[in-house]
């Protein structure tokens, strides 16, 4: 349920950032080159000027396989006088959703032919004792601010997924603040998302009204009729960015050529266009159930036995949790497993959105705890009808 206030989201976000600057002696803005991190950066700069806290630390984990438009825009940010750059061009490992044989890109691997040369101001050595993207943020805070309060400001918004909405509104992270995540509680280190309640319209209204610069890749997306919710500025082989590969050769031919040389699976994904890794919406006629189809794909589409066991172990966990006798839920569960296999999503990134779906989450809460959601739930209604007819 939304609670509306008289204060607009722009002023509310500024007040939240002012609060963070007052609470934490060290503040870092996490930057990706996307629209949301652009807004967080510009708002944080407004507050940093007010509080005489310039230059502002800006952190970019450069994943190498980036749009050139993102690189150009972010480089302009990093060279601003008001910015203290933390441009990370260091070895890490990132999942490659385009290939079942080369499932990881060793970003900035020594000796490899990189997508482009490193910048002279970037941090090139990984001194953070992890090579995983999501763990790097915690370790960066711990390394640069040992045993000191510090925070990262990020551009996550609850509108983008049900799981994000739930995690940003359900419980306090720091004092009264729900819109954050704990990085190191003992040292008082957190990540906060001050524009968590903004919509797409709010973001673009702020950029337009304040004449802020932004990543011009969004203009190219708009010109190619990409739906606004699918305009993703992330590494080019991420599971949520695959649908952009089919247009990359036209938008940035140099980036396309470098990427196909750097990583397996890119050319196949790009040539198959929008249909790449797309799962059927109806059950193929040769299978009697989505469960049978899932089993077939596991045995025949996942070639690496070790990867197959990873899928199976994670699927077993989901089955134990969600397979509770409701035929509609079971069908939805196995269809999601099929989509996960077809998308080569071994990290289960998309599956987590299924578990956070309000209807699925509400049905499970009712099934386990007997708590009815405050909205009409088709899974509960269906199960009740079955119970009534059985009686």
Q: What is the mean pLDDT of the chain?
A: 88
Last residue of a domain, one of 166, 201, 236: 201
Last residue of a domain, one of 142, 172, 201: 201
Domains identified in the chain, total number: 2
- Picking from 354, 373, 363, 365, the residue whose alpha carbon sits closest to that of residue 161 is 354
Contact predicate 3/35, CB 8 Å: no
141-145, 162-166, 282-286, 358-362, range with the lowest pLDDT: 162-166
- CA gap 264, 271 in Å, rounded: 13
Residue 320 has pLDDT above 80, yes or no: yes
- CA gap 389, 391 in Å, rounded: 5
Residue 312, domain extent: 290-390
275 in a structural domain = no
Running DSSP on this structure, what letter comes out for residue 137?
H
190 in a structural domain = yes
245 in a structural domain = no
The mean pLDDT value for 87-110 works out to: 87
The whole-number pLDDT of residue 1 equals 46
User: What values do phi and psi take at 152, rounded to 5?
Assistant: -110, 140
Residues 13 and 160 both lie in one domain: yes
Residues 53 and 167 both lie in one domain: yes
Which range is most confident: 150-164, 221-235, 338-352?
Answer: 221-235
Residues 68 and 178 both lie in one domain: yes
Residues 165 and 52 both lie in one domain: yes
319 in a structural domain = yes
Contact predicate 43/17, CB 8 Å: yes
106 in a structural domain = yes
122 in a structural domain = yes
Which domain CATH number covers 139?
Answer: 3.40.50
The whole-number pLDDT of residue 391 equals 57
In terms of pLDDT, which residue wins out, 307 or 34? 34
Segment 1-40, tens digit of pLDDT: 456 678 999 999 999 999 999 999 999 999 999 999 999 9
338 in a structural domain = yes
Last residue of a domain, one of 152, 173, 201: 201
Q: Give the predicted TM-score (pTM) of the model.
A: 0.77
Three-state secondary-structure class, residue 73:
helix
The mean pLDDT value for 88-116 works out to: 88
SS3 content of the chain, % helix, strand, coil (to 5): 50, 10, 40
DSSP string, 203-252: HHHHHHHTT----THHHHHHHTT--GGG---S-TTSTTTGGGHHHHHHH-
Residues 197 and 310 both lie in one domain: no
Residues 294 and 176 both lie in one domain: no
Residue 288 has pLDDT above 80, yes or no: yes
Residues 184 and 303 both lie in one domain: no
In terms of pLDDT, which residue wins out, 153 or 164? 153
The whole-number pLDDT of residue 350 equals 75
228 in a structural domain = no
């Amino acid at each position: 349920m939304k609670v509306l206030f008289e204060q607009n989201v722009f002023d509310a976000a500024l007040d939240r950032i002012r609060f963070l600057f007052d609470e934490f002696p060290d503040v870092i803005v996490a930057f990706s080159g996307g629209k949301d991190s652009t807004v967080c950066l510009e708002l944080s700069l407004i507050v940093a000027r007010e509080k005489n806290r310039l230059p502002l630390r800006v952190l970019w984990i450069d994943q190498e396989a980036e749009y050139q438009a993102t690189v150009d825009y972010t480089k302009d940010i990093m060279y601003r006088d008001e910015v203290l750059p933390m441009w990370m061009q260091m070895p890490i490992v990132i999942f490659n959703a385009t290939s079942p044989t080369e499932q990881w890109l060793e970003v900035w691997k020594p000796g490899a032919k990189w997508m482009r040369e490193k910048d002279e101001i970037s941090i090139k050595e990984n001194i953070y004792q992890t090579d995983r993207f999501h763990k790097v943020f915690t370790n960066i805070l711990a390394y640069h601010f040992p045993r000191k309060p510090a925070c990262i400001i990020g551009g996550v918004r609850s509108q983008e997924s049900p799981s994000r909405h739930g995690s940003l509104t359900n419980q306090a992270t720091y004092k009264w603040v729900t819109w954050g995540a704990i990085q190191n509680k003992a040292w008082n280190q957190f990540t906060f998302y001050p524009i968590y309640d903004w919509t797409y319209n709010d973001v673009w209204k702020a950029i337009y009204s304040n004449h802020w610069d932004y990543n011009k890749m969004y203009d190219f997306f708009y010109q190619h009729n990409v739906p606004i919710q699918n305009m993703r500025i992330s590494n080019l082989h991420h599971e949520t960015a695959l649908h952009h590969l089919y247009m990359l050769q036209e938008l940035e031919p140099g980036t396309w050529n470098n990427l196909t040389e750097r990583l397996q699976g890119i050319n196949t994904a790009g040539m198959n266009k929008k249909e790449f890794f797309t799962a059927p919406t109806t059950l193929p006629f040769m299978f009697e159930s989505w469960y049978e189809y899932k089993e077939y794909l596991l045995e025949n589409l996942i070639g690496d036995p070790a990867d197959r066991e990873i899928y199976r172990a994670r699927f077993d966990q989901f089955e134990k949790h969600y397979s509770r006798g409701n035929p509609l839920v079971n069908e939805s569960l196995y269809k999601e497993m099929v989509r996960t296999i077809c998308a080569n999503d071994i990290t289960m990134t998309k599956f987590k959105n299924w578990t956070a779906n309000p209807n699925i989450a509400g049905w499970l809460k009712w099934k386990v705890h007997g708590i009815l959601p405050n909205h009409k739930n088709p899974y509960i209604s269906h199960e009740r009808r079955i119970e009534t007819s059985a009686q």
